[in-house]
Chains A and B, each alone.
Chain A
Amino acid sequence: MTAHTAGSVVPRRAVIERMGDAALIATLADELDAAASGWALRAATAVDARRVALPGLEAAVPGHGSVLVPFDPGRCRESQVRALLEAVLDETRRAEPAPGGVLHEIAVRYGGVDGPDLPEVADRTGLSEDAVVALHAGTEYRVLVLGFMPGFPYLGILAAQLDLPRRATPRVRVPAGSVAIAGRQTGIYPFESPGGWHLVGRTDVPLWDPVRQPPALLAPGDRVRFVPR
């Protein structure tokens, strides 16, 4: 997982490169940036909308500042995919006037056994634990990407005062529902796994259920607000 610091880079143009013999990747920004992330999401949605028109095009994958477009080289040509991607990037460059997205309010128990890194975060940022919680819960986040593990939401952008690199030594076991921060992002571990982010709290909201449709509670573009309890 990347814990990248935010930049103020406004995306100007995309760089399209090969990811192997059956995918192209368009890079829209080299640093975490809300505008580029929104562009990547709009582009991925627009590519998916054209899958009927270009058989062989596979589901696009939005990244933090990039979009991956896999295709079946047996059914369409790379040049067709590249042309389509260029057109889509051009069309989606400008942000829509009113970005939507479902708002999720997620109840969090901060600190204590649920957020064992809260004291360290407070210490390293020079803030009180209460101030860390106020900052973390005081921001409305957007789901930038799902990744790293099924249903893990990368949420941005975290307050600059809470910007910390990942833990030097990742934990072998992070409990399910842990709310964590790293760089200018915050996330929620959908199930128990290893992890290197700082754990500040925990929620009981089920984020991932493979037999539910859709299996992930959150989708890229959704909004999230944490509510201390």
Chain B
Amino acid sequence: MLEVVDPGPLLTLQDRGRPGLAHLGVPPSGAADPWGHAVACLLAESPAGAAVLEVTLGGARLRAVETCTVALGGADLGAELDDGRRLPCGAVHLLPAGSEIRFAGSGPGSASGIRAYVALAGGIDARPVLGSASTCVPARLGGIDGRPLRAGDVLLPARRGDLGAAGRVWPSGTAPHPATRPGPIRFVAGPDLRHLPPDAPEALAASTWVVGPASDRMGIRLDGANLPAGREILSHPVIPGAVQVPADGRPVVLFVDGPTIGGYPVAGVVPRWQWPRLGQLGPGDRVRFAVQAAAAARAAWSAQQRVLAAAARSVRADALWDRLADGSGG
């Protein structure tokens, strides 16, 4: 059982979201960094679609009302216990009753990112709305009453958690977070190239962009060498990852809580295998983009899923050994 002492800038419940409802105007939401979410769930032995806490930047504080085990995924936001003990990311930690976990945060431009995921062993008891517990603040859906978590909120375990998982770690050597991989963020060009100057994808790839301060789960705003202004077009459906070029020429990468339709041309779409990188971009980060063929993006997605699945098998095998070792069954 965890109590929110301080939510920091933004603390929400997230799972894998509610895809497939765009025709109702409902964005998919879900963890901004699906890799970080998956790591936390796997380490905590939660189901793959379990609800976890998404911590944004520094400042959040959580209190263990009773002894519990949590797994940390996503970015390393400098988590530590109130006794000063450091809680590394990609590992499972025992929180004694009454102890407090604090996120010191990471500065702007930090390589590791801005979002951490806290999975509670046994899962967090959350009521799904439209098939998901994910909080979508602009649409007021999911989480607790569709709002960010606040001080005093209590998160109950869905079932009695396994305390024996503490100490288990993610095989980061073989399955590193995709955000640790250097190089530009890939995008598939189009679909609105006929409404843009012909070299719009190249122009997007030619500059170094700075993530703007107003970036959030709805959209990542890019400052830099402006692209030629996009002119308003007839609205069409859009998806997370779509790089929209508005009238001021400053691209916006629409993201998981973003609008389902948009009226500005889309120069390219960041494919799903790059979302773990998008989800870790914070204000002040510098970022470059590069065009990728759709087939190559699909191959990269499959490869990423294979790495995740192999790491999951390794974590599960460790868990099995732990149980055999302490004689609690197997």
Contact = CB atoms under 8 A, between A and B. Distances in A.
Interface of A: 1-2, 4, 17-23, 25, 27, 29-32, 44, 58-68, 70, 73-74, 78, 145-152, 154, 191, 193, 210-211, 214-216, 220
Nearest to B305: A74
A191 B138 CA distance: 10
B25 A147 contact: yes
Contact of B272 (A22, A62, A210): A22
Given A20-B188, A20-B269, A210-B129, A25 B237 contact: yes
A21 B298 contact: yes
A11 B269 CA distance: 26
A146 B190 contact: no
B interface residue count range (under 10 / 10 to 19 / 20 to 34 / 35 or more): 35 or more
A190 B236 CA distance: 20
Which of A25, A65, A193, A210: most chain B Cβ within 10 A? A210
A211 to B, nearest CB: 7
Given A1-B263, A18-B190, A210-B129, A146 B237 contact: no
Majority secondary structure, A binding face: loop
A74 to B, nearest CB: 7
B260 A21 contact: no
Contacts of B22: 59, 61, 68, 147
Contacts of A214: 24
Interface stretch (B1-9, B89-97, B155-163, B227-235): B227-235
Contacts of A60: 23
Contacts of B294: 18, 20-21, 78
Contact of A27 (B20, B236, B259): B236
Contact of A19 (B19, B261, B266, B302): B266
Interface string B287-328: 000000011011001100100000000000000000000000
A74 B74 CA distance: 25
A70 B242 CA distance: 13
Given A58-B19, A147-B260, A149-B139, A19 B191 contact: yes
Contacts of A74: 301-302, 305
A35 B279 CA distance: 39
A63 B235 contact: yes
B252 to A, nearest CB: 15
Nearest to A68: B237
Contacts of A44: 23
A150 B190 contact: no
A20 B239 contact: yes
B271 A22 contact: yes
B234 A22 contact: no
A154 B262 CA distance: 13
B86 interface: no
B241 interface: yes
Given A17-B190, A66-B236, A150 B263 contact: no
A19 B236 CA distance: 11
A59 B188 CA distance: 21
Contact of B141 (A22, A30, A154, A210): A210
Interface string B131-143: 0000000111100
B17 to A, nearest CB: 13
B261 A150 contact: no
Which of B25, B138, B232: most chain A Cβ within 10 A? B25
B130 interface: yes
B234 A2 contact: yes
Contact of B236 (A59, A64, A73, A152): A64
A215 B259 CA distance: 18
Contacts of B138: 149, 193
A30 B234 CA distance: 6
Contacts of A78: 294
A214 B23 CA distance: 12
Interface string B252-279: 0000000111010010011110000000
25 contacts: A4-B263, A17-B190, A20-B239, A20-B241, A20-B269, A20-B270, A20-B297, A21-B295, A21-B297, A58-B19, A58-B20, A59-B21, A63-B237, A64-B261, A65-B236, A66-B234, A66-B237, A146-B23, A147-B235, A149-B259, A150-B139, A154-B235, A191-B140, A210-B129, A210-B130
B40 to A, nearest CB: 23
A92 B78 CA distance: 56
A20 B242 contact: yes
B297 A151 contact: no
Contacts of B139: 149-150
